[in-house]
């Protein structure tokens, strides 16, 4: 298949590109900058210059492809509503040119903030309304005759090169001189290795059904206190609890995320797509030491 990938030079997207190429697919990656275009060329992917705000480039990429994988998102939490609006418009633009074709469109969403009807969030639990409408928009496109589905990723998608939540916790611990968690730290984060997530994107592209939600979850839920303890051990720092009232003062913008409790299951995803994570879990990955290289 000829696959158009947004976010193709990013942390997750670059792994998706390699997964697709290794399986014999052709890849066209969206590139906003010269550096992104060079990275895609070096990966043996084709380049389409454009951005999430450039809807014409998105429509062109989707129209010329047999399928689309949308991993891009503007991760500016100070402008989160605007980023969500940009993402919604991008999904709608790509969906409009895929309408009636039954071609696949894989949209990236998350488990963070979801509320399960059981102990674990499952693929059947709907996403609430919020500034980021990736899931709702993606599933609405399925009604247009697009084989649109959603992959929910956990708060930690980990591997060498990660620059998201866990590295932020490590930087805060270094700055503050303590590795902290909130309350008793029993709230749980699911996690997945980047390469396992990339494999799931390919399976969803090849086998996914319209309107489906898939969970890219390997570790169902790691207590945040355990993550703090591993960070403290590697940095030789004390591990402490901060109260909920102190969370924002200690963690800054991470204060709203450190308290997330979203233990999640991927049992139905594994059954439906035959996905089996094979790479290290988050704690094992942290213990490899590369997260703590200065």
Same domain, 285 and 180: yes
Cα-based torsion angle of the residue sequence 254, 256, 258, 262 in order, rounded to the nearest 10 degrees: -140
pLDDT per position as a tens digit, 25-67: 999 999 999 999 999 999 999 999 999 999 999 999 999 999 9
Same domain, 162 and 243: yes
Using CA atoms, how far residue 122 sits from 83, 125, 265, in Å, is 26, 6, 5
Q: CA nearest 173: which of 260, 259, 262, 238?
A: 238
Same domain, 285 and 177: yes
Give the chain's largest Cα–Cα span: 58
Using CA atoms, how far residue 212 sits from 41, 72, 201, in Å, is 32, 20, 13
Looking at the structure of the chain, the number of domains it has is: 2
Q: Work out the pLDDT band at 77, boundaries 50, 70, 90.
A: low
Same domain, 162 and 41: no
Same domain, 227 and 115: no
Same domain, 185 and 195: no
Q: CA nearest 93: which of 51, 128, 129?
A: 51
pLDDT above 80: residue 13: yes
User: Which pLDDT score is estimated for 222?
Assistant: 97
Query: CATH no. for residue 231?
Result: 3.90.25
Percent of the chain having pLDDT more than 90? 88
Q: Work out the pLDDT band at 171, boundaries 50, 70, 90.
A: very high
- Report whether 261 contacts 112 (CB < 8 A): no
Q: Work out the pLDDT band at 73, boundaries 50, 70, 90.
A: confident
Average pLDDT, the chain: 94
Same domain, 148 and 7: yes
Q: Work out the pLDDT band at 258, boundaries 50, 70, 90.
A: very high
Residue with tokens 């997945």: 192
Lowest mean pLDDT among 12-16, 160-164, 174-178, 273-277: 160-164
Same domain, 59 and 129: yes
Which value, in Å, is the radius of gyration of the alpha carbons in the chain?
19
User: Which pLDDT score is estimated for 112?
Assistant: 86
Domain span holding position 36:
2-155+191-218+265-271
Same domain, 43 and 86: yes
- Report whether 71 contacts 48 (CB < 8 A): no
Same domain, 145 and 17: yes
Query: CATH no. for residue 67?
Result: 3.40.50.720
Given the DSSP bridges, would you call strands 147-153 and 213-215 parallel, antiparallel or unpaired?
Answer: parallel
Same domain, 15 and 57: yes
pLDDT above 70: residue 208: yes
Lowest mean pLDDT among 6-15, 75-84, 232-241, 249-258: 75-84
pLDDT above 80: residue 75: no
Same domain, 183 and 258: yes
pLDDT per position as a tens digit, 96-139: 999 999 999 999 999 988 887 678 999 999 887 766 789 999 99
Q: Work out the pLDDT band at 202, boundaries 50, 70, 90.
A: very high
- Report whether 69 contacts 14 (CB < 8 A): no
């Amino acid at each position: 298949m000829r696959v158009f990938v947004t976010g193709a030079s990013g942390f997750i997207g670059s792994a998706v590109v390699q997964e697709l190429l290794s399986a014999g697919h052709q890849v066209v990656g969206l590139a906003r900058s010269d550096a992104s275009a060079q990275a895609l060329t070096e990966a043996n992917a084709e380049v389409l210059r454009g951005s999430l705000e450039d809807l014409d480039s998105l429509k062109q990429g989707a129209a010329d492809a047999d399928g689309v994988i949308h991993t891009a998102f503007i991760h500016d939490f100070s402008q989160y509503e605007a980023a969500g609006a940009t993402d919604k418009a991008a999904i709608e633009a790509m969906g409009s040119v895929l309408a009636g074709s039954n071609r696949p469109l894989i949209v990236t969403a998350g488990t963070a903030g979801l509320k399960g009807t059981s102990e674990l969030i499952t693929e059947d639990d709907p996403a609430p309304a919020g500034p980021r409408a990736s899931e709702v928009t993606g599933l609405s496109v399925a009604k247009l005759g697009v084989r649109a589905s959603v992959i929910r990723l956990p708060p930690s998608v980990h591997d060498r090169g990660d620059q998201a939540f866990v590295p932020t916790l490590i930087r805060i611990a270094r700055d503050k001189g303590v590795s902290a968690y909130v309350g008793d730290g029993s709230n749980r984060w699911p996690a997945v290795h980047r390469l396992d997530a990339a494999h799931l994107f390919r399976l969803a592209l090849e086998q996914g059904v319209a309107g489906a939600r898939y969970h890219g979850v390997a570790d169902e839920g790691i207590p945040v206190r355990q993550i703090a303890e591993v960070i403290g051990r590697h940095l030789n720092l004390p591990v402490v609890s901060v109260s909920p009232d102190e969370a924002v003062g200690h963690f800054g913008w991470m204060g709203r995320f450190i308290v997330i409790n979203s233990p999640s299951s991927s049992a139905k995803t594994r059954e439906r797509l035959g996905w089996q994570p094979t790479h290290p879990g988050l704690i094992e990955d942290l213990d490899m030491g590369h997260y703590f290289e200065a």
